[in-house]
A and B are shown apart, each in its own frame.
Chain A
Amino acid sequence: MDLLSKTVDSLWQVVAVGLLLGAGLPAIFALGLRALDSGSTTDPAAATTTRKPAAVIAAGTCFAVVVVAIITGILFVMQGFLSHTFGIEIF
């Protein structure tokens, strides 16, 4: 039953992290898009879009979180390479 407990142990972690990052990050991204959309008014005649600063900041924060997460993901893929080649331990 060692196999079962080991599998269950890593399984719940994969589900938890998966939900947090795999579903949470797209949700944050969606929040950013919503902030961007709701804070902007488009003037069709002048073909310009004006945005409220607060909305832009909120959207920018959301997108920044997602970008940081993606960079972290890339570093995660590279961690073996970095520690093996340059001796840098990042995680």
Chain B
Amino acid sequence: MNAELIVLLVVVVTALGFDFTNGFHDTGNAMATSIATGALKPKVAVALSAILNLVGAFLSVEVAATVAKGVVNLNSVGGEDLLFIVFAGLVGGIIWNLATWLFGIPSSSSHALFGGLIGAALASLGMNGVEWGGVLSKVVIPALLAPVVAGLVATAGTWMIYRITRGVSDETKDSGFRLGQVGSASLVSLAHGTNDAQKTMGVIFLALVAHGTLNADSDMPFWVKLSCAVAIALGTYLGGWRVIRTLGKGLVEIAAPQGMAAEASSAAIILTSSHLGLPLSTTHVATGSIMGTGVGRRGAEVRWGVAGRMAVAWLITLPSAALVGAVCWGIAQLIGGLPGVLAVFAILLLLAGWMYARSRRQPIDSSNVNAEWDGGLIPAEDIPGPPANPTPAPAPAAEPAPRDNVTA
């Protein structure tokens, strides 16, 4: 086994790692509302979403090596240089995904990947490596528009739903809308699998082309499809409970009718926008929809402080991931060759392990994901789950959770 092949393997594994974080970071986009209203038990919700992501991944047909096309310009490089850029970009994306997950902030996985690639491309190719017009039209403008559009649609939907069902018994409303909610959330999951898994497939394809295993006109190998589908489904099943909690409990207190309005809005906008070539991020759309359901229901509270933190995270996603991507490229380049790639990979593992250990100090999982929102992501102890979902027991914290800055 030569050094080039090992570099390729590391890149492929890192790409699958990104796919995995993409899955668990985005579970909440589809399932947070169903979990929060008790329409589905937390474990059932993530399992359903995982299966639909798996199916969705196989439905994607991206064949060409177009990674972040129009955002970064990687045509001028090939071989190991290209592998280095893609690798550093992936590491940037993963680290940003994990960091935002640790703080329970839903942020766009695509933006994290784009950011990482932009940073690595800037560091290696200079200004020519990035297509700034594309950054504006494919990243910045959609990020500004998505929450507004989704919020508008969800507000309208929520308002109409509550108006129409005024006087309908709560029992009918709850059971009916829960069903509708699960249906629309499933559609969001399926669309997510189709759109997001193919991004990683594209990255691996590009790496294989750079290595010379494939040429640009080859068909997507089946093992790439399979491994990407499995990685995103596993990630989804693991469930990014911290993000789910923020989306389902932190932003707005959601009832079943609002949940259906939110997911229907997300599904409609995600499907139409990708069809019309306006690449709105699933995360931004889902978040906007959930906020919209808070605005559209009289008396509902939108926690604008939580929304504000999220907005800040969205703003810094691209530059932060870019910075990490650029630094990783620099380290890999400085050491050079296989040792450089392995060094960055080791850094990635260390940071990921550290963030995982950090999260275990104040774990959020299926048992306490629905606990009362008490000013922060980490639920206060001794507070039972809300009546909407009878299963979760009070948070079984392994040790008294210090309320440090993670809760801020």
Contacting pair A70 B187 (CB below 8 A) = yes
Answer yes or no: A10 CB below 8 A from chain B CBs: yes
> Do B59 and A80 touch (CB < 8 A)?
yes
User: Is A73 on the interface with B (CB-CB < 8 A)?
Assistant: yes
Question: Is the Cβ of A26 less than 8 Å from the Cβ of B160?
Answer: yes
Contact residue range for chain A? 35 or more
Which residue in B173, B260, B268 is a CB contact (below 8 Å) of A18? B268
Contact A23 B180 (CB under 8 A): no
A33 & B141 in contact (Cβ 8 Å cutoff) = no
Cβ contact within 8 Å between A22 and B190: no
Neighbour of B157 across the interface among A3, A10, A22, A31, CB < 8 A: A22
- Cross-chain contact A23 with B153 (CB below 8 angstroms): yes
Q: Give A45-77 interface residues, CB cut-off 8 Å to B.
A: 66, 70, 73-74, 76-77
Q: Given the known A-B contacts A70-B184, A80-B61, are A11 and B278 also in contact in the complex, defined by CB atoms under 8 Å? A: yes
Given contacts A23-B265, A70-B187, whether A11 and B145 have CB atoms under 8 Å apart is: yes
Instruction: Name which residue of chain A comes closest to B63, CB basis.
Output: A84
- Residue from A18, A27, A74 in contact with B190 in the complex, judged by beta carbons closer than 8 Å: A74
B276 neighbours in A (Cβ, 8 Å): 10, 13-14
List the B side residues contacting A14 at CB < 8 Å. Answer: 149, 269, 272-273, 276, 278, 280
Whether the Cβ atoms of B141 and A7 lie closer than 8 Å is yes
Q: Which chain B residue has the least Cβ–Cβ distance from A13?
A: B276
Distance (whole angstroms) from the CB of A63 to the closest CB of chain B: 9
CB < 8 Å: which of B136, B264, B280 contacts A26? Answer: B264
Check A78 for interface membership: any CB of B closer than 8 A.
yes
- Number of B interface residues at 8 Å Cβ cutoff, please give it: 52
Provided the pairs A7-B141, A13-B272 are in contact, do residues A30 and B164 lie with their beta carbons within 8 angstroms?
Answer: yes
Q: Interface code B155-174, partner A: CB below 8 Å = 1, 0 otherwise?
A: 01100110011011100110
Is B269 in contact with A18, judged by CB distance below 8 angstroms? yes
Known: A18-B272, A23-B153, A73-B187. A10 touches B277 (CB 8 A): yes
- Per the bound structure, the CA–CA distance linking A34 and B194 in Å amounts to 35
Contacts of B269 in A (CB 8 A): 14, 18, 22
Given contacts A36-B172, A37-B169, contact A27 B184 (CB under 8 A): no
Hey, which chain A residues are within 8 Å of B191, CB to CB?
Answer: 77
Does residue B60 face the partner (Cβ distance < 8 Å to A)?
A: yes
In the assembled complex, which residues on chain A have CB atoms less than 8 Å from the CB atom of B165?
30, 33-34, 37
> Contacts of B280 on A, CB cut-off 8 Å?
14
A84's partner among B61, B154, B173 (CB-CB below 8 A) is B61
In the complex, which residues of chain B have a beta carbon less than 8 angstroms from the beta carbon of A11? 145, 149, 278
- A23–B155 CA distance with the chains assembled, in angstroms: 8
A→B interface (CB under 8 Å): 3, 6-7, 10-11, 13-15, 17-27, 29-34, 36-38, 66, 70, 73-74, 76-78, 80-81, 84-85
A23-B153, A37-B167, A70-B184 known; 20 new pairs, CB 8 Å cut-off, are: A3-B133, A7-B145, A10-B276, A14-B276, A14-B280, A20-B268, A22-B268, A23-B154, A23-B157, A23-B261, A25-B268, A27-B164, A32-B176, A33-B172, A36-B172, A70-B187, A73-B187, A76-B271, A77-B187, A77-B194
